[in-house]
Structure 1
Amino acid sequence: MAVGKVPRWLSLASFLSVVIVLVAVSADASVPALFIFGDSTVDCGTNNYINTTRNFRGDFPPYGQDFFGKPTGRYSNGRVIVDFIAEYAGKPLIPPYLEPNADHSHGVNFGSGGAGVLVETNQGLVVDLQKQLSQFLEHKAAVSERHGQTLAEEVFSDAVYIVSVGSNDYLGGYFGNPKQREKSTPEQFVGAVVTGIVESIKMLYSFGAKKIVVAGLGPMGCIPALRARDESGSCSAPVSAVASAHNNAVQGALSQLEQFLPRLTIVHAQFYDFLLERLENPSKHGYVSGDKPCCGTGSCEGRCGAEVPGCEHCSNANAHVWWDPYHPSESIHRQFAEAVWNGTSPYIHPVAVQELFKPAAEPHHYDDKLDLFVGDPLQQLVSESILMT
C-alpha cells in the first residue's frame, strides 16, 4: 500500500517502476539509512541514466581515475563527499536511484549533476530537486508496500538526509542568464532559491525526515571556469558575494523553521570558509595549486576529457584543490567529509554528522492520512506545501 497522500505534482517516468520493486530496508537496523539529494557535489551516477548532454555527464575518462580506475558518473577524479560519509558510517557506496538492480538497503542517492533548486535550472537535462523529492516519495511508498508501514516509518524517521544544491541556480540560472538578471535583482533571486530550499526541507520533514544536513555553497566566484575569464585570474567578487548571501539566508531561515517542527534537527555544513582557506593557502593544506584545475587547462576550453586534443592533465590530481574547471578534487571531498563528520568548528553546526547516525531511542509515529507527526503545530502549513501544484 502507498504511504500518505500522493501530491499532485508527483509525475514519474514509467521505467522507474522497474527500479523500485528492488528496494529493501537496511539489514543492519542499528545504522540509519542515508538519503542524498542535490547536484554534482553529491551525484554518484544519476546522470548516466538520463537523456542529457555531455556537459552534464561525468561518465568518460579521466573522471574516476584515482579511485575507481574508470568513470562512474561522479564529477571527481575519485569519490565525492557522500561516499566518505557512507564509509565513516560503516556503509557501502550509496547507489543512484536510477541504477538498475541497485541495492538500496543502505540508502539511495537522488543527486543529479547540474540540478538546481528551481525547476527551470537546466530544465530537461537534469533531475531537479523537486523531481528528486518525487522519486524519494515513490521509493518510500515501495518500501512501505513491501515491508509494512510500521517498519518503513521507523527506517525513514531514523535516516540521515543530506541536501547539497544551489550553485547551478546562480551560475547558470542567474549569472549565465541575461534575461533572468533583467527580471530580478540578486537579492530577489536569492530569495527565490532560499524559499525553494525551505519548502523542500518542509517536504522532507512531512515525508518522515528528522535529521537533515544542509550543505552551504562555496565561494562560487573562485571556480577556475570564472577565474579564466578574468585577465588577472582573480575570483569574481559579485558571484562569491551572492553565495555568501545565500548561505546566510538559508541558515537563518532553516534555524527559524526548526523551532516550529518538532523533533527536527537541521545541521549546517559550511563549505564556503573551508574551501576559501584552501584556495588562499593551498600549501598549508597539502596542495600545490589553489587556482588551476588538474584537468581542463591548455586547449581544453573549459572541458575535461582525455579525448580533447591538447587538453592538459596533471599527474597528481589530489595535489590540486580543483579537479576540473567546476569541481574540486577527491582530496577536497575527503577533507571536508572528515571535518563535518568529526564536528570540526566552524564547518559544521550544531552537531557533528556522526552524531546523526546514532539510532533513535524510540521510533516516531505518523498520522495515517497525511504521514505527518501527530500533533505537529504546522501540520496545515506542511500539508499545503505537499499539495502545491
Structure 2
Amino acid sequence: MANNAKTYVNLVFLLAIALSLHVIQGQVQPPIDAIYQFGDSISDTGNLIRDNFIGEHSPFASLPYGQDFFHEATGRCSNGRLMIDFFAEYFKFPYLDAYLNKAGNFSHGVNFAVAGSTALTTGTLALKGIISPLTWSSLSVQLNWFQSYLTSICPDLNDCKNKLANALFIIESGGNDINYAVMERKNIQGIYGMVPEVIGAVKAAIEEVINFGATRVVVPGNFLFGCMPIYLYMFPPNNATLYDELHCVEQLIELSTFQNNFLQKTLKELQAEHPLVKIVYADYFNAMKGLLQNATALGFDETLRTCCGMGDNSANFGITKICGFKGVPVCPNPDKSVSWDGIHMTERAYKIMADWLLQHNILPAISKAA
C-alpha cells in the first residue's frame, strides 16, 4: 500500500510537469503587475556582486556561472536562470534586476535578494558564534532598501498601498541561518533552538511588507538541504550519520522538516491575523523531493553529484576546489545534473521546481478568494 501511494504521488508530480502550467495568467485575479523578491542565493540576480568586495571577487561574478543562458556571469548562483526568473517569465515580465544594479529596469518589480544573506542580522548571529561570511545585507537590510525604493516612487503612504495592491511579494529567507550553524557546529540537535528566532525574523518581514500595502505574500520553506552535495561531503556515512532512502543526511532532513513545520504554523497564525492578505507557503521541500524521486524519468543522470566542482568522493565536492576556482571542471551537460556547484542547483532543476510550484502551489493559492 505504501509503495502504491508513493507511485501515485510520483505520477502526480510528473503529470504536473508534463502539463506545463495550463493555468493561464488571466486566471490570477487581480492580475499581478510586479514582483518584489527578498532572499539569498536561491533568488539573487546580482546584488552580492555589487554589495561588497567579497561579492565582487566571488566565483559568482565570473564564468562558468551563467554560462548556459546569459553566457556571462550576472551574479546568479547557477549555470543559468533561477526560479525567480521562471516566475517572471510566467507573468511575462522582464527578469527582475538587482536593486544594487544602478542601470536596472524596475518597471515590474525589484530583486532585493543577496546571496549569502540571513534572516537574522549578522550581529545577532555573531553573538551565537555564527559568522555570515559573504554579506551583512540580511533580511532587515533588504527591507530598508525596499523602504528607500518606495520613498523614491511614492512618497505618500496611501499612494504606495495602491501601487503595491497588485504586486506579488516573495520572502525567501532563513535557510542560511541554519546552514551556517550546521557548517560551524555540526551539533544538529543544538540548532533546533534557533528555529523560532529565525522564523520570527521572517514573520517580522512579512508584517512589515503588509503594513506597506502587500496583499499577496509567498514565503518559501527550506529545501531538503541534507541532499546537497556539500553536506554529503561534510557528513560522510558512518555510525553517527544515517542516510535516508534518497541517500540524504537523515538528521538534516529532519531539521529542515522541523523548520518548515514551524514556518507553516507561523504563517497560519499570520493569515488569521490578516484575513484580507493571501499568505502562501511555497513548498520548496516537496518540490525538490519530487524532483529527486523522479529524477530518472525527468532525464537527470546525476542527482547528488556536483556538476561544477572537484572532489575525491561520490558527491564530487571539495571545499578547496569549488566551482569557479582555477582548474575546476564543469560536467559536459549540466541539464543532466540536479546540483550545479554542490550548494545551488542547475537551471533545469530550478525550472522543473518552478513549474511544479506555480502549477500546484503558488498560482492556486494566490488566485482563490481571500
Q: Which residue of 2 aligns with 1:296?
A: 309
* Runs of 5+ unmatched residues, structure 2: 1-29, 126-131, 238-242
Q: Is 1:39 aligned with 2:31?
A: no
Pick one of 110, 132, 144 that aligns with 2:142.
Answer: 132
Q: TM-score, normalised by structure 2?
A: 0.79
Q: Which residue of 1 aligns with 2:217?
A: 212
* TM-aligned CA deviation for residue 333 of structure 1: 1.2
Letter in 2 for 1:325: G
Q: Does the Cα contact within 8 Å between 1:56 and 1:113 map onto a contact in 2?
A: no
Question: Cα deviations across residues 106-159 of structure 1 (Å, max 9, x unaligned)?
Answer: 1000000011101125177241100001110111111113xx655432111221
Letter in 1 for 2:43: V
Pick one of 106, 117, 120 that aligns with 1:118.
Answer: 120
SS in 2 for 1:45: coil
Q: Which residue of 2 aligns with 1:87?
A: 89
Pick one of 84, 90, 102 that aligns with 2:104.
Answer: 102
CA RMSD of aligned residues (A): 2.6
Q: 1:88 to 1:352 in 2, by over 3 A?
A: farther
Q: 1:226 to 1:152 in 2, by over 3 A?
A: same
Measure the CA separation in 1 of the matches of 2:136 and 2:336.
Answer: 30
Overall identity of the aligned pairs, in %? 27
Q: Between Structure 1 and Structure 2, how many residues are aligned?
A: 319
SS in 1 for 2:309: strand
SS in 2 for 1:341: helix
Letter in 2 for 1:270: D
Q: Which residue of 2 aligns with 1:308?
A: 326
Q: Which residue of 2 aligns with 1:335?
A: 352
Measure the CA separation in 1 of the matches of 2:133 and 2:60.
Answer: 18
Question: Cα deviations across residues 277-301 of structure 1 (Å, max 9, x unaligned)?
Answer: 3334420222111110110124773
Question: Cα deviations across residues 268-321 of structure 1 (Å, max 9, x unaligned)?
Answer: 111112212333442022211111011012477344445522x23101112111
Measure the CA separation in 1 of the matches of 2:84 and 2:331.
Answer: 25
Question: Cα deviations across residues 196-223 of structure 1 (Å, max 9, x unaligned)?
Answer: 1111111111111110011111111111
* Runs of 5+ unmatched residues, structure 1: 1-28, 361-389
Q: Which residue of 2 aligns with 1:187?
A: 192
Letter in 1 for 2:149: H
> Which stretches of structure 1, 4 residues or more, deviate above 6 A after TM superposition?
none
Question: Cα deviations across residues 202-251 of structure 1 (Å, max 9, x unaligned)?
Answer: 11111111100111111111110111234448522222211111111101
Q: 1:149 to 1:117 in 2, by over 3 A?
A: closer
* TM-aligned CA deviation for residue 176 of structure 1: 2.5
Q: Please list, as runs of the form range in 1=range in 2, the aligned pairs for 1:1-389 lying within 5 A after superposition.
A: 31-53=32-54, 58-120=60-122, 121=125, 122=132, 125-145=135-155, 150-172=158-180, 174-178=181-185, 185-232=190-237, 234-298=247-311, 301-302=318-319, 303-309=321-327, 311-342=328-359, 344=360, 348=361, 351-352=364-365, 355=367
